[in-house]
Each structure stands twice: as structure tokens, then as C-alpha cells.
Amino acid sequence: MDLALTEEQQMIQDMARRFAVSELEPVAAELDRAEDKDKCRQTFLANLKSLAELGFMGLNVDAQYGGAEAGVVSFSVALTEVARACASTAVTMSVTNMVGEVIQTVASEAQKQYYLPKLCSGEYPAGGFCLSEAGAGSDPAGMKTRAVKDGDEWVLNGTKMWITSAEYAGVFVVWAVTDAEAKKGKGISCFLVEAGTPGLIIGKPEEKMGQNASSTCPVIFEDCRIPESALMGKLNDGFRVAVSELAGGRIGVGSLALGIGQAAMDYAAKYTTEREQFGTTISSLQGPQWMMADAYTQLECSRLLLMSAASLKQSGKDFSKSASMAKLHATETANQVCYTAIQLMGGIGYTQECPLERMARDARVTSIYEGTSEVQRVIIARDLLSNI
């Protein structure tokens, strides 16, 4: 099997790397601290617009809708490069691409023509994926948000939690129960709701441990009326759509985690070649060498798992188990190697003078959102056991 990137994929990776180094890396720490909130917001939005202009907000969206039509592998490698510089920007890019893909997969032609060009061009700075609730995170089928038909409108009521980029999103993909009598997970439908719709309220941004530049908010629906045409796909078929899209989203989060881990280890490895102890550089000592060897080996395993899952998805094959394996390994590895990087640097790695403490905080949530590591293990085990 040829694991080399194509010329186009390499070009996209290089473009993402150059943008990340020149535009994202210099401001990542400032955006994380957000001492001047208005300035940081404007900088963040400007970077999102630039990503859209590069084609990175619709990498797997067809060109006829304004997308780059570059494929899943290109999406993964580009996201990894962006995450090496700024995880907050990367998660917004990941979710916006996921929103674009679900619209392309499920929406009507009219919905695609209206919403996708706005997402891909940056007219909408981001897209919102409204699935999780306070009591329905790992168990999204237990959601309480309701959509009730009233004439030629739907009326939404409920609260979605931990919605990435909620403050910036131009459109939200929203899941709600449309048949309360149906079996759990069978009476859920999917809707498109534009920002600014009366009754759609963006709550206060969460104060988080990491990925602070990414606005994560509750999204509240209070008698939010949307037209009948806002229904996306078939009535009561929304949960199947959500499960399918989450599998693709796991490739995004795994790629993001890989980028954080690579950046942390590269920074620490360079430091070990410069820092001297016991009359020699740290890099010449066997202990640190083994730490780096183990870390980079695990990062390479993450990359290969992600490429496998992305290739399967791109070729239209079943990729759910592969995506869960990639997400599980990449996110757990990112957490581990960030701590290894700090350990290699000693006390200075624990200070804000270095980016490692930010990277460690940014990496932590990757093993939680888009399905916890525990949920990934359940998915993998079920698939394996189903074949016995």
C-alpha cells in the first residue's frame, strides 16, 4: 500500500503549514490568555476568514457548492498542521467542516445551494453542531430538546451544551425529538437554524481549561420558530445521521490531537539539543532519548491510524471502527506526549514562557469531546464482537 501523499495533498499540507506558522503560531498564546477580549475576537475571526479563503472550511465539500473538493485525507493533514499552531482555531475548522459535510450528505438541493457557499466562503465564520445536552453527552439519544409542528412551522425548545464556535456560527445543525412516543433514538430529526433566528439564544461562553480562544457556549431554544423547510433529511431519521457524522468528526479530532502532540514533542526535542546538564546535552543521554523514541513512535502510530480511517472514508468504505481507533489512540497519545515534553524540559516547561503548558491544556479535552475514549472503546469492542 502506498502511504505517500499525492501532489495535491502535499500542496494542501504545505499551504496549511505555512499559514499556521506565519499567522496562527505568533498569536496563539495571546488568544489563549485573551487579556484584550475584543482584540482577540477580531484576530480569531480574521484567521477563520483567511482559512475559508484558502479553502479550508470546506475541504470535503463539492466544488459546485464552493468547497475545495480535496477529500478526507487532505482535511486530516491540513487540520494537523493548523493544530500544531493553534488548537482553538483547529477545532473551529474541524467542526465547520463537519457541519458542511452533514449538510452536503443529508440536505435538500435548495439547502445545499443556500448554506454551503456561505460556510465555505467564510460569510458564515463557522458552523455549529448542536447535538449534546447536559443529560445527553455520551448518550445523545437521550436528548430532551423538542421540535413540535405548528402549522407550517416547527417550534424548538431545549438547551444544547458545549457548542463549539456558538458565538461565531452562521448556521446551526440542530437535533431534536420530533416523536416523543418513538423508541429511544428513533424519533429524532435534524434541522438547520440560522444565527439570529428569534428564540435562538447563545449563552455565556464556558470558562475552560484549554482551547480558550474557541468560544464554547450553551445554545438555548425558547419557542424558536423555524419554517417547515428547515427540516434536513427525513423526519425521525436524525439520530442515524448524527451517529454517522460523529464518526467522521473523530478523524478531525484525532488529527487535531496529533498536531498538538507533534508540536509539543518538536519543541521539547529541540530544547534537549541545546540544554546541557552533567557536562553534556540532554539529548545525548539515553533516558531522554528513549522518552523521545517512544513518544515519536506513538505519534507515528496515530498518523497511520488516521490516514487509514481517512482513506477508508474517502473511498466510501465502512470507516467507523477505524475512526474510533484513530481517535482513541491519537488523543490518548497527545495527552501522554505533552506530559513527556514537559518532563523533558523540566521546570521551564511548566511555565507560560513555553507553549507546552498551553498545549497540555489544549490536548486534554480531545479525549473527551466527539466521544470520550471510553465510548471509543465500546464502539471498537462492539464491532469486533459482532464478527464473532
Q: Which residues are catalytic?
A: 370
Please state, in angstroms and as integers, the Cα–Cα distance from residue 353 to each residue in 101, 345, 358, 369, following that order. Answer: 39, 12, 10, 28
Q: Is 235 helix (H, G, I), strand (E, B) or coil?
A: coil
Q: How far apart are CA 8 and CA 295, in angstroms?
A: 29
* Residue 228: DSSP 8-state: G
Best CA proximity match to 115, nearest among 106, 103, 105, 125:
103
Please give the radius of gyration of the chain, using alpha carbons only, rounded to the nearest integer: 21
Cβ-Cβ contacts under 8 Å for 50 (sequence gap 6 or more): 19, 23
CB 87 within 8 A of CB 259: yes
Backbone φ and ψ of 165, nearest 5°: 65, 25
| Region class of 242: left (phi > 0), else alpha (psi between -120 and 50), else beta | alpha
DSSP 139: -
Decide: 113 and 124 in contact? Cβ < 8 Å.
Answer: no
